[in-house]
Structure 1
Amino acid sequence: MAFEKVEIFEFEPQSEEFEKAYFDLLDRLRQHALSQILPPENAHGYSHGRQWQTVTSSEPDEVSHLKIHEHQAQIKFDDILEHRLSVIFDFTQGIVSSFSDGYMQTMYQAVSEACEKSGNIVRSNEIGSPALSFLQALKNIQFGVDRAGKISRPEFHLGTDAFKKLEEDAERLGNKFKEEVERVTKEKEEEALAREAERLSRFKGS
């Protein structure tokens, strides 16, 4: 018994061109979503294997693995029948939002695992003050210096409620707290510049 092949879209060359153009668009949007989390110069492609080992790191025996991001989206058949072209935009936005959420979850998980491993954790419930917890976290970290030699300050990610509590607690503590934050910030910036100067000095004349 022979079965007749049903062509959903008869213009095959045009269909392939549309598919390629659409996936190119998705890839550009994916890269843009990633750039909101990581600077493009810090995002690299990896095209062979699923794990790697950095022997020059502080833990040369540690093996890192790729994590798979999976995203699902659907278009209702009725929308196709009704020629609702707006679903293409909604479909695309749904995929890009899913990518962005997945990247954020991966980043938070990686940071959390690194902090747990190093023990560099500040527990606000133990300190009892959101503002003082923020100050302690500031003291526990190091600032960086970018390729242009400018200070790279850390980012603090807080939910709406947590940020409101931090603001209110900082206001309660007054100018003394703000002055201490400014002092620690300046100290961290000076330390970062000193470390960078020491690092660069090792390459002079090489």
Structure 2
Amino acid sequence: MTPFLFDARTRDFDKAMARQLQIEFKKISNRMMPERNTQRFSHGRRWSTKPDNGGDEAGEMQVHSFELSTRFEDIVSHNLAVLPDFRQRIAESMFSQLMGSLYETVNRSTSKSGNVVDAKAHESLAHAFLAALRQIEFGVDEDGNVSMPEFHLGSEAYESMTASLEAQGPEFREEVERVKAEKIAKALERETERLSKFPHDEEG
């Protein structure tokens, strides 16, 4: 009897599963972070960056782990139909851990820079939203369009925030639009100044 008869096939299966997991993970992560906005680096476990007001001066790889299980009956009966669902659950768990690390990093950075809005310090969630909007700098994408900020909330916080915003009067909404217009104008101004630093060919 030859031991580990299917060793090569097992390696092939693992490689195929890993490739499919990468595809599933990309599909999920691209909803939050477009692939054009991501970068990949080859490095060791630690790295250092130029210190600034909010960034980390040094960092290292963090271990992410999770546990999934499948029914023993599905293994015994060779039920391959469970594989797509199992693969999807792995990809979603990986993305959940990634987002947890991302929020933790953002929280650490904003706490360090002091760019934090305490909702309890405002009369309502809507006014806390407006205060946060005033502190955010809008960006400009590669097509010259202003990128509006995103607010990430849990389901309960989202419902509370929505209810608070809908309860505000026209003066509040006008102020929100005024702040947005001001932020958009400043973002375009910064982008114009940035582009002016690069030489360009004159037409004609």
TM-score (norm 2): 0.86
Q: Which of 1 and 2 has higher RCO (CA within 8 Å, sep 6+)?
A: 2
**Number of residue pairs matched?**
200
Output the aligned Cα RMSD: 2.4
Partner of 2:183: 188
Residues 26 and 92, structure 1, Cα contact 8 Å, conserved in 2: yes
**Correspondent of 2:138 among 132, 137, 143:** 143
Q: CA deviation digits over 1:142-190, x for unaligned, max 9? A: 0001111110111001222222222222232211111111110010000
Partner of 2:92: 97
AA at the equivalent of 1:172: A
Partner of 2:12: 17
Aligned-partner Cα distance in 2 for 1:34–1:198: 32
Residue correspondence of structure 1 range 126-137 to structure 2 within 5 A: 126-137=121-132
Residue correspondence of structure 1 range 1-40 to structure 2 within 5 A: 6-7=3-4, 10-40=5-35
AA at the equivalent of 1:134: F
Q: Any gaps of 5 or more consecutive residues in structure 1?
A: none
AA at the equivalent of 1:36: R
1:64 Cα deviation from its structure 2 partner: 2.8
AA at the equivalent of 2:43: H
3-state SS, counterpart of residue 167 of structure 2:
helix
AA at the equivalent of 2:136: I
**Correspondent of 2:194 among 196, 199, 202:** 199
1:104 Cα deviation from its structure 2 partner: 1.4
Deviates more, 1:186-195 or 1:30-39: 30-39
Residues 33 and 99, structure 1, Cα contact 8 Å, conserved in 2: no
Residue 61 and residue 73 in structure 1: after superposition, are their counterparts in 2 closer, same or farther (change >3 A)?
A: closer
3-state SS, counterpart of residue 171 of structure 2:
helix
Partner of 1:43: 38
AA at the equivalent of 2:40: G
> Once the two structures are aligned, what percentage of the paired residues are identical?
38
Q: CA deviation digits over 1:112-140, x for unaligned, max 9? A: 11111111111111113010000000001
Residue 83 in structure 1 maps to residue 108 in structure 2: no
AA at the equivalent of 1:99: M
